[in-house]
Amino acid sequence: MHLPCPLQIPFSSPSLTSMASPLLQNRASMDSVFTFSFFLILSLCFCRSSGYSATAFACDAGSNPAVVGFGFCNGSLGFKERVGDLVKRLTLPEKIGFLINDAGNVSRLGIPKYEWWSEALHGVSYVGPGTKYSNVVPSSTSFPQVILTAASFNASLFEAIGKVVSTEARAMYNVGLAGLTYWSPNVNIFRDPRWGRGQETPGEDPLLSSKYAAGYVRGLQQRDDGDPDRLKVAACCKHYTAYDLDNWKGTDRYHFNAVVTPQDLEDTFQPPFKSCVIDGNVASVMCSYNQVNGKPTCADPDLLAGVIRGQWKLNGYIVSDCDSVDVLYNSQHYTKSPEEAAAKTILAGLDLDCGNFLGKHTEAAVKAGLVNEAAIDKAVSNNFQTLMRLGFFDGNPSKQLYGKLGPKDVCTPEHQELAREAARQGIVLLKNTPKSLPLSASAIKSLAVIGPNANVTKTMIGNYEGIPCKYTTPLQGLSAVVSTTYQPGCINVACSSAQLDEAKKIAASADATVLVVGSDQSIEAESRDRVDLNLPGMQSVLITEVAKASKGPVILIIMTGGGMDITFAKNNDKITSILWVGFPGEAGGAAIADVIFGSFNPCGRLPMTWYPQSYVEKVPMTNMNMRPDPTNGYPGRTYRFYTGETVYSFGDGLSYSDYKHHLVKAPKLVSIPLEEGHICRSSNCQSLDVVQEHCQNLGLDVHLRVKNVGQRSGSHTVFLYSSPPSMHNSPQKYLLGFEKVSLGAGGETVVRFKVDVCKDLSVADEVGSRKVLLGLHVLHVGTVKHSLNVRI
């Protein structure tokens, strides 16, 4: 797709070499050729030195007048008509070229190559061949890893970050450095604490994950002109579905069959994807490597054509995870031939293959009668319509809405400040002995900064990263406020040995000590699940020994994606404060300093349960069941079902202020209208099917007064939970809604929740059907509880 200026042919192209060489040899006798050659060399030198790369654009009548007569280039026609015109002009091999991420060009129609694979998990990323950096745009804003942003529980922040990322993506597209289709966000449920990719997700709760999914997608996709049919960039929700194991004790994602009950599928694994499509109007969904109940997700017509496109009405394309089609044939042996694999995936509803399997085997599948050309037309039409909505077929983007964006719009001060603000809002204060934090910058004359993550850069941005605008490490952030001394304590997070003497020495003489420990991508990452929940190596020894030697308060900072069993530190009185900072992004060190020294009042809450090590010793990662099983002692998973001990619980998080809640308004009774003759009028029903006629306008209002009774202004997340009647293996409690409020010292406000009875008070039954449970539902916010009777 991206071709260099101004000749629009690759520098390494043999055609360029063969054209230039004879011209240069004869330039003395040919003035016109000399002029051309001089211009050619000058152009190449400029392009190489500047890093700029001009781009060929489809339907660009200015550079290719022949496209004027093509219907697919006619912007006055509807997308469907334009797509139909384009598909009719293509041969079967050309169509197949548009079934793969490295889509081929069709020069006779003026269509350049297009690379579909770009990533934008928490900023524009260099992962994937569709995006690169140069000296024109050497970096982009790197926000915190998703798990920390989710800890903010701030839906407006999710969307604001998406908006910044899409602006920077468009700016890079305009100078030939990026695509328009981004395979983000990852909205899988963080089911097991050992999962290496949990850091990429919004956590363990289906509602939070759904709100994050829809918010980030809207930020990426929605245009400033409000046109709902067009896209700023195209997002993609992944990995569909029940994907949350990469490589654990010999079981990997390429061979794993996730055995999932219909109940768990409906109320745990599917909601974020459903919200992506229905609430976020996402342009794409990516199917995963794993099988679900014996079928590869990318070859399951029920999951793809049936649910995503049929029930949820996806307006966009379905793409495979990279080489998933190859995996289901070569690793899972799901089909007998590659042609059958190609046919099954296309017929299941797959539109685009990340990889080249469909490029190699689809034509043979058509010739063998396994799939017809109409199915190919349908798939490429979904792909083309997405590109149409992005303006790909509208010529040079400089004449379009975002055409004026460029390098000046990447890494702006406002974008970098938002990265810092996102980290501040996500940081979770887990422990704070009275009078410990915040530290006083004027009282602290010396601060000891210790630990293997105390001065890291790349660790802070996690995976699926780009090149950040700049880094502020924890040490740099703290050193900007007070005088510091530094010892790493361990050479890396593996911490096979600890340099205790040097660390203890600076802790013993400092007014306060900050320990920054945790993990990095060598411990938890894609294709790398953990086998335990302990801090790596000798980190716990380093923490305990330094705390024992410290003269002043000890602040322990855990920089990880997943939870750790830090019970020893929680119970150690010498450790006065504990913060979890996730992987906090490019400005992580500045945000940490803001919290520690009180210029920001912490307000993050844990988006996942922190289990003790004993939990993973008895629970295999391969067991997908969310609900406990008393017959075999299986304890269940996440705060909704697990009743055992935790190190810290979902939603935990302290502040430098205290907040009080008071119920202002909530009904005590809700009656569900039933038509005459309904079976439940004569029978003792415990639940009702969720159907449209029962649910029309059936809602209730819950209003709460929230007051900041502390001495500092701050932000606070109000969680509204429900504990439903105990039937159909319902959750012990689940999140109905959350709202983030900002209050000055002594300030108060009223938070209003609108509860949709059929959507919010229903649960999934054993076969995956939604039911409204009749009886007593207990609503609770903090210590406030309210009983609500639902009846017919």
**In the predicted structure, residue 677 carries a pLDDT above the cut 60:** yes
Cβ–Cβ < 8 Å for 409, 171: yes
- Positive or negative CA dihedral for 394, 398, 401, 402? positive
pLDDT tier at 55 (50, 70, 90 boundaries)?
Answer: low
- 548-557 confidence digits (pLDDT tens): 999 999 999 9
Which residues fall within 8 angstroms of residue 5, CB to CB, at 6 or more apart? 43, 46, 47, 52, 53, 54
Give the strand pairing for 447-450 and 512-518: parallel
Q: What is the 3-state secondary structure (H, E, C) of 346-365?
A: HHHCCCEECCCHHHHHHHHH
Q: What is the pLDDT of residue 54?
A: 56
pTM for this one? 0.93
Separation between Cα atoms, residue 294 and residue 296, nearest integer Å: 7
pLDDT tier at 111 (50, 70, 90 boundaries)?
Answer: very high
**In the predicted structure, residue 593 carries a pLDDT above the cut 70:** yes
How many H-runs (helices) and E-runs (strands) does the chain carry? 23, 27
**Plot region of 518 (φ>0 → left; ψ -120 to 50 → alpha; else → beta):** left
Q: What are the φ and ψ backbone dihedral angles of 556, each rounded to 5 degrees?
A: -100, 125
Cβ–Cβ < 8 Å for 719, 134: no
E strands present in 617-686: 659-665, 669-671
Structure tokens at 536: 């790596």
Q: What is the pLDDT of residue 652?
A: 98
Q: What are the φ and ψ backbone dihedral angles of 186, each rounded to 5 degrees?
A: -90, 115
Of 416, 522, 424, 497, the C-alpha closest to 141 is 416
Q: What is the pLDDT of residue 755?
A: 97
- 310-328 confidence digits (pLDDT tens): 999 999 999 999 999 999 9
Q: What is the pLDDT of residue 784?
A: 97
**In the predicted structure, residue 6 carries a pLDDT above the cut 80:** no
Separation between Cα atoms, residue 65 and residue 47, nearest integer Å: 25
Name the helix (H) or strand (E) containing 707. strand 699-708
Cβ–Cβ < 8 Å for 428, 151: yes
Which residues fall within 8 angstroms of residue 250, CB to CB, at 6 or more apart? none
Separation between Cα atoms, residue 772 and residue 759, nearest integer Å: 9
Structure tokens at 760: 């919010």
Whether omega before 438 lies within 30 degrees of 0, making that bond cis, reads: yes
Catalytic residue among 321, 529, 594, 765: 321
pLDDT tier at 681 (50, 70, 90 boundaries)?
Answer: confident
Separation between Cα atoms, residue 165 and residue 173, nearest integer Å: 12
Amino acid identity at 703: H
Separation between Cα atoms, residue 109 and residue 64, nearest integer Å: 10
Q: What are the φ and ψ backbone dihedral angles of 652, each rounded to 5 degrees?
A: -65, 145
E strands present in 534-611: 554-559, 575-580
Which residues fall within 8 angstroms of residue 499, CB to CB, at 6 or more apart? 487, 488, 489, 490
pLDDT tier at 358 (50, 70, 90 boundaries)?
Answer: very high
Structure tokens at 296: 């590869």
Which residues lie across from 248 on neighbouring strands? 251
Structure tokens at 592: 């940490």
Q: What is the mean pLDDT of residues 397-423?
A: 97
The question of whether 267 is a catalytic residue gets the answer no
- 155-196 confidence digits (pLDDT tens): 999 999 999 999 999 999 999 999 999 999 999 999 999 999
**Plot region of 520 (φ>0 → left; ψ -120 to 50 → alpha; else → beta):** beta
**In the predicted structure, residue 753 carries a pLDDT above the cut 60:** yes
H helices of 51-78, in order, are none
Structure tokens at 594: 């803001």
Q: What is the pLDDT of residue 225?
A: 97
CA distances, 699 to each of 60, 186, 270, 326, 771 (Å): 51, 31, 24, 48, 16
Q: What is the pLDDT of residue 45?
A: 38
Q: What is the mean pLDDT of residues 718-732?
A: 97
Q: What is the mean pLDDT of residues 675-686?
A: 86
Name the helix (H) or strand (E) containing 330. helix 324-330
E strands present in 139-270: 237-240, 247-248, 251-252, 257-258
Separation between Cα atoms, residue 704 and residue 737, nearest integer Å: 13
| Number of Cβ atoms within 10 Å of the Cβ of 182 | 30
Separation between Cα atoms, residue 30 and residue 394, nearest integer Å: 40
pLDDT tier at 626 (50, 70, 90 boundaries)?
Answer: very high
Give the end-to-end CA distance of the chain in Å, rounded to a whole number.
Answer: 61
- 17-42 confidence digits (pLDDT tens): 333 333 333 333 333 333 334 333 33
- Positive or negative CA dihedral for 21, 23, 27, 33? negative
Q: What are the φ and ψ backbone dihedral angles of 308, each rounded to 5 degrees?
A: -60, -50
Cβ–Cβ < 8 Å for 113, 1: yes
Separation between Cα atoms, residue 405 and residue 710, nearest integer Å: 44
Q: What is the pLDDT of residue 695?
A: 82
**In the predicted structure, residue 703 carries a pLDDT above the cut 80:** yes
Name the helix (H) or strand (E) containing 688. strand 687-689
Cβ–Cβ < 8 Å for 610, 449: no
Q: What is the mean pLDDT of the chain?
A: 93
Which residues fall within 8 angstroms of residue 704, CB to CB, at 6 or more apart? 661, 662, 663, 664, 718, 720, 750, 751, 753, 781, 784
Q: What is the pLDDT of residue 25?
A: 35
| Number of Cβ atoms within 10 Å of the Cβ of 492 | 16
Amino acid identity at 93: P
Separation between Cα atoms, residue 638 and residue 650, nearest integer Å: 8
Q: What is the mean pLDDT of residues 561-586?
A: 98
Of 238, 267, 290, the C-alpha closest to 621 is 290
CA distances, 487 to each of 400, 497, 513, 580, 673 (Å): 53, 14, 11, 20, 68
Crossing angle of the two packed helices 373-389 and 79-89, in degrees rounded to 10: 130
- 84-110 confidence digits (pLDDT tens): 999 999 999 999 999 999 999 999 999
Pick from 315-329, 489-503, 678-692, 701-715: least confident: 678-692
Q: What is the mean pLDDT of residues 494-509?
A: 98
Structure tokens at 573: 């009185």
- 428-454 confidence digits (pLDDT tens): 999 999 989 999 999 999 999 999 999
In the chain, the percentage of residues whose pLDDT exceeds 90 is: 90
Q: DSSP letter at 261?
A: -
**In the predicted structure, residue 120 carries a pLDDT above the cut 70:** yes
| Number of Cβ atoms within 10 Å of the Cβ of 657 | 22
- 648-673 confidence digits (pLDDT tens): 999 999 999 999 999 999 999 999 98
**In the predicted structure, residue 643 carries a pLDDT above the cut 80:** yes
Separation between Cα atoms, residue 124 and residue 161, nearest integer Å: 11
Q: What is the mean pLDDT of residues 350-356?
A: 98
- 214-256 confidence digits (pLDDT tens): 999 999 999 999 999 999 999 999 999 999 999 999 999 999 9
Helix (H, G, I), strand (E, B), or coil: what is residue 660? Answer: strand
Q: What are the φ and ψ backbone dihedral angles of 216, each rounded to 5 degrees?
A: -65, -40
**In the predicted structure, residue 51 carries a pLDDT above the cut 80:** no
Name the helix (H) or strand (E) containing 703. strand 699-708
